[in-house]
Structure 1
Amino acid sequence: MNELFPLWAPWEVRSLSDLCSGADASIQTGPFGSQLHASDYVEVGTPCVMPQDIKGGRISTESIARISEEDLLRLCRFQLRRGDIVYPRRGDISKRALVGERETGWLCGTGCLRIRSNASAVDPAFLANYLSHPEVCAWIEGNAVGATMPHLNTGLAAAIPVVCPPIEEQREIAAILGALDDKIELNRKKAATLEEMARALYRSWFVDFDPVHAKAAGRTPAHMDATTAALFPDNFGEDGLPEGWSAEPFIDQALWVNGAAYKNMHFSTDADALPVIKIAELKAGVTANTKFTATDLGDRYRISRGELLFSWSGNPDTSIDAFVWPLGDAWLNQHIFAVRDNGRMSRAALFCALRYFKPEMAEIARNKQTIGLGHITRKDLEAFPVSVPPETVETAFETQVAPLFDRYCACLYENQTLATLRDTLLPRLMSGELRVGEAKEQVVAVA
C-alpha cells in the first residue's frame, strides 16, 4: 500500500481495515436515526456523542445529549471504550476525538463513526495523531462521498493508508504529542476557571449587586476590603439600581466594528497577505493554517492578538459568543464584531459582560432565527441595558478582574504556541524525518 507522504524511515504502510481486524476491533457507524430519536434524549443519563461534541481532538460535554439506561442497554453494541476514535460521518469529516477513560461506556451517537483498532497492531493514541496529519485529512476529504456535504463511511475509513513504525516507537511518538496535548488541556481548564471567576465577580457587582444588598442590610460585603466597600451605596433608587448608578445601552459601552464582506477579488496568494478570520475558525480552535488570505482593506478591519471579538450570527447555541483573538495580525470577516475600547468599559469588563450575557444574547438570536440561524444586530445591542456604576467602582473592578483576564489570555497565547509546535512536529514525526530524541528536547523546552 502506498503512503500519503514521503517517508524518511523504512516503515510499513497498512490499511486501516487491516489495523481494525482481529479480537473485537472494528470500524462501525453509530445507531441510525430510526434506532435513536431526539425525543429519546433525557436530562440525566449516559452521554451520547454526536458530531457537534467533537472539538479539538476531544469530546466536549458542553451541550451533549444523554440517553436512558434502558436505551443504553438496547444500544450497547455502540458503546465506546478507551482507545476508540470517533469521527463525524458528514460535514467536517476531518475532525476526530480519541476516547479516554472518562468517556468509556458512553454511546457513539447517530451521525458518528467509531474506529476501534487492534491494540497489538497499532497504538490508539498514535493512530489518533496520525489521522490528524494534514495529508491524511486531505486524503479523507478528497475521497469523501457527496458533492455539497462530504460523507465518511466505513468503506472509506477502511481504505485509509496508515504508516506503522514499530509499536514501541508509535508509543514514544504518541507520548511526545500527548505531552503537548496534556499541557494544552491543562491551560484550557485553567482558562475556564479564570473566566468563571471573572464572570462571577461581574455578576456579583453589576447584576446581583451583592455589595449594595449587604450594606443595605447592615452587613459588610463579603470578600471585600473596607476601601472597596466604601465605593458602593447602601440603598437602591426607584429604578432598582444602586443609588447613583444608571442603565445604559450595551452598544454605548464599546466600539462595535463589523468585519468586511470579502469577495474573490480580495483574496491573495502573496506570502505577506493576512488570513481572513471566520466564525468557523473561532469555534473550532484557531490555527495558523487558514483557507483564505486577503489584501489590505484598511486598518478598520485589521485585528491583532488580544482583540475582543463577538460572533453575532449563526446557530444561537453554538455561534453567538465572545472570543479573545490569540494569533497575530489578520482580517476580520463579516458576522463578527471587533469590540473595541471607547473609554467606557475596559476590555476585561466587556469580555465578562459578553460571556455572562451569552444566554440572553442566544435567546435574542433564537427568537429571530431562520433555518436554524439567528443573529444579534446593533438595534439589539441598543435595546440591551447594562448597569453602569460611577467611575470609581469601574476602576476598582478593573483592578480585581484585570489580573484574571491577563492570566486567561496568557493561557490562550501559550496554547497557541503549543499547538503550533505540535502541528510542526506531527508530520515530521509521522514521516520519520524527525526522530523521537530530537522531538523530546523541543517539547521539554516549552512543556
Structure 2
Amino acid sequence: MKKRSIGSISTRVSSGITPLRSNLDFWTNGTIPWLKTEQLGERLIFETNERITEKALQETGIKVNPADTLSIAMYGEGKTRGNVSLLKRPMTTNQACCNIVLDKNKAAPEFVYYCLKNQYANLRRLSSGVRKNLNSGDIKGFEISIPDSLSEQTKIANILCSLDAKIELNNQINAELEAMAKLLYDYWFVQFDFPMTAAQAASLGRPDLEGKPYKSSGGKMVQNPTLNRQIPEGWTVETLQQLTSVIRRGVSPKYVEYGGISVLNQKCIRNQSIQFDDARRHGCELEQTHERLLQYLDVVVNSTGVGTLGRVAFVKRLVDVKTTVDSHVTIVRANQSLVSPTYLAWSMLRLQPVIEAAAVGSTGQVELSKTYLEKLNLVVPDVEIRKRFTEFAAPVIQATACKEQENEELTQLRDWLLPMLMNGQVTVGESTK
C-alpha cells in the first residue's frame, strides 16, 4: 500500500456549477441529468431528480461527468457533508459537489470509493470556514493508501461490493413486497374492491359474484355521514381513540453508554421503517408489562420538529426485547378486540401525509397533538375482510423483517472488513479450486 493524493490518481477534481434558476431556458425540457448533494450517500447513483438543457451547458461551462465519477458533498448540514457516491452514468452536478474523474490506469473507482468511506471522519476534518464546508482543493490533496496493482484494488473492492450488492438486493425485495401490500390495501380499503364474500354475493341474489371485486361488481354501498362518502354496507367509521388501547408519548430518557434499555428517537423513524442503528440506551429499566415498552405491530409516530413530525412506521421486529421510544415519539397500539393490529398499522402508514400536515406551534417548535391523533377517523372493515388482509400481509411483514435483520448483519460484516482491507491488515489471495 502507498499513500497517494486524490489529485495524483485523477484526471480532474472540480466542483459543479448551478445554472440560474430564474433562466427557464436552462431548466425547461432538460435532458441532461443534474445531481444535487441531497442525493449523495448511496453507493451507486444511476438517476437524478432534475435535468438541465444543452443551453445551460453551453452558457455556463458546466462539465458532464463520465460514468464512474466519484462525487463528494462539500456543503451540507450534519452527516450529509462528506457523503460520497459513485455516479454510474454521465451526469452534471451542482456547485456543492466535488467531482473526481479517476485515471483508470491508476485507480479502480470502487476501490477509491471504499477508501473514502473508510476515511470519512478524516475527510470531514478538512472542513473549514464558518459553515465548516469542504473545498475541492483540499479534497484533491487528500491522501489515501492504495495498492499499485489495479488487480489487487479490484479484488478488495469486489469483496465489499458483493456485500453491498446483497444489501441493495434485500432493500429492493423489501420495497417490492411493501409496494405489493400497499397496492392491495388501496385496492381493498380505498377503492373497496376487496373479494366479495359468499354472504355478500348471496345478499345480492348473485352467488356467482363470490370472489369478484366488491364495489365494481355492484356490492352494496351506504353513505357515511362522518366521512361524507359511501362505504361498504356493514363497515363502520371509528376514531383512533376508539380503536386503540394506547396512544401516548415515550419516556424522557437518561442516556447511558451501556445497560438499561434501547430507546428509539425521531432519527430512527424514516422511510416508513424503523432504523435501529440510531437507537440509544436509557439508564432506567421498565417492567416487562410497562405499556411504554414496544410490542409487535405497534405504530410509532414522530411528534415534534419541522421535517420529522408525522413520520410513521410500525414494529416488525425488535433488536432488543425491551425497547421504548423517547418523548418526541408517540406509540399507537391497537385494541385487538376491535381492530386487527396489521390493518391499523397499514392504515396509519397511508395516513402519514395527513398527519404530517397537522403540525401546530411556532417554526422549529411544532408539536403533534395527542388529541389530533385520537380524533383521526378510520374505516373499519368487517371481520372477514380484516382477517383476509392479515393473512396476506403477515408473511410480507415477516419476510421484510428478516431481510432488514440480514442487512444489519451484512452491514456489520462490511464495516468490520472495510478498514482491515483498506489498511492491508487483511489481504486478498488468489482463489483456489
TM-score range, shorter chain: 0.7 to 0.9
The reply to whether residue 97 of structure 1 matches residue 85 of structure 2 is: yes
- Offset of residue 245 of structure 1: 0.8
Higher helix proportion (structure 1 or 2)? 1
Q: Which residue of 2 aligns with 1:328?
A: 319
Match of 1:349 among 335, 343, 346: 343
Match of 1:388 among 376, 380, 383: 380
Match of 2:394 among 390, 394, 402: 402
Q: Which residue of 1 aligns with 2:35?
A: 49
Q: 1 or 2 for the larger relative contact order (CA 8 Å, sep ≥6)?
A: 1
SS in 2 for 1:145: coil
CA contact (8 A) 1:326 1:412 kept: no
The reply to whether residue 26 of structure 1 matches residue 12 of structure 2 is: yes
Q: Write the deviation string for residues 425-444 of structure 1: whole angstroms up to 9, x where unpaired.
A: 11111111122259x99xxx
The reply to whether residue 361 of structure 1 matches residue 361 of structure 2 is: no
- The aligned runs of 1:207-222 (5 Å cut-off) are 207-211=190-194
- The aligned runs of 1:126-141 (5 Å cut-off) are 126-133=111-118, 136-141=119-124
- The aligned runs of 1:422-437 (5 Å cut-off) are 422-437=414-429
Residues in 2 aligned to 1:276 and 1:178: alpha-carbon distance in whole angstroms = 32
SS in 1 for 2:223: coil
Match of 1:248 among 238, 254, 275: 238
Give the AA of the match of 2:398: D
Match of 2:136 among 137, 154, 157: 154
- The aligned runs of 1:410-421 (5 Å cut-off) are 410-421=402-413
CA contact (8 A) 2:30 2:52 kept: yes
CA contact (8 A) 1:80 1:106 kept: yes
SS in 2 for 1:132: helix
TM-score of the superposed pair, with normalisation by structure 1: 0.77
| Aligned alpha-carbon RMSD (Å) | 3.9
Residues in 1 aligned to 2:60 and 2:115: alpha-carbon distance in whole angstroms = 30
Residues in 2 aligned to 1:399 and 1:247: alpha-carbon distance in whole angstroms = 22
- The aligned runs of 1:284-295 (5 Å cut-off) are 290=278, 293-295=281-283
- Offset of residue 202 of structure 1: 0.8
Residues in 1 aligned to 2:388 and 2:275: alpha-carbon distance in whole angstroms = 36
CA contact (8 A) 1:207 1:387 kept: no
Q: Which residue of 1 aligns with 2:176?
A: 193
Residues in 2 aligned to 1:49 and 1:36: alpha-carbon distance in whole angstroms = 14
Residues in 1 aligned to 2:176 and 2:243: alpha-carbon distance in whole angstroms = 26
Q: Which residue of 2 aligns with 1:267?
A: 255
- Offset of residue 229 of structure 1: 7.2
Q: Provide closer, same or farther for how the CA distance between residues 348 and 13 of structure 1 changes in structure 2, counting only shifts above 3 A.
A: farther
CA contact (8 A) 1:94 1:140 kept: yes
The reply to whether residue 114 of structure 1 matches residue 108 of structure 2 is: no
Q: Which residue of 1 aligns with 2:7?
A: 17
Q: Which residue of 2 aligns with 1:123?
A: 108
Q: Provide closer, same or farther for how the CA distance between residues 405 and 170 of structure 1 changes in structure 2, counting only shifts above 3 A.
A: same
- Offset of residue 122 of structure 1: 1.5
Range moving further from structure 2, 346-355 or 105-114: 346-355
Q: Provide closer, same or farther for how the CA distance between residues 95 and 250 of structure 1 changes in structure 2, counting only shifts above 3 A.
A: farther
Q: Write the deviation string for residues 172-200 of structure 1: whole angstroms up to 9, x where unpaired.
A: 11111111111111111111111111001
- Offset of residue 129 of structure 1: 1.0
Q: Provide closer, same or farther for how the CA distance between residues 324 and 37 of structure 1 changes in structure 2, counting only shifts above 3 A.
A: farther
SS in 2 for 1:241: strand
TM-score of the superposed pair, with normalisation by structure 2: 0.79
Larger Rg: 2
Give the AA of the match of 2:396: L
Q: Which residue of 2 aligns with 1:278?
A: 265
- Offset of residue 311 of structure 1: 2.9
Residues in 1 aligned to 2:355 and 2:23: alpha-carbon distance in whole angstroms = 25
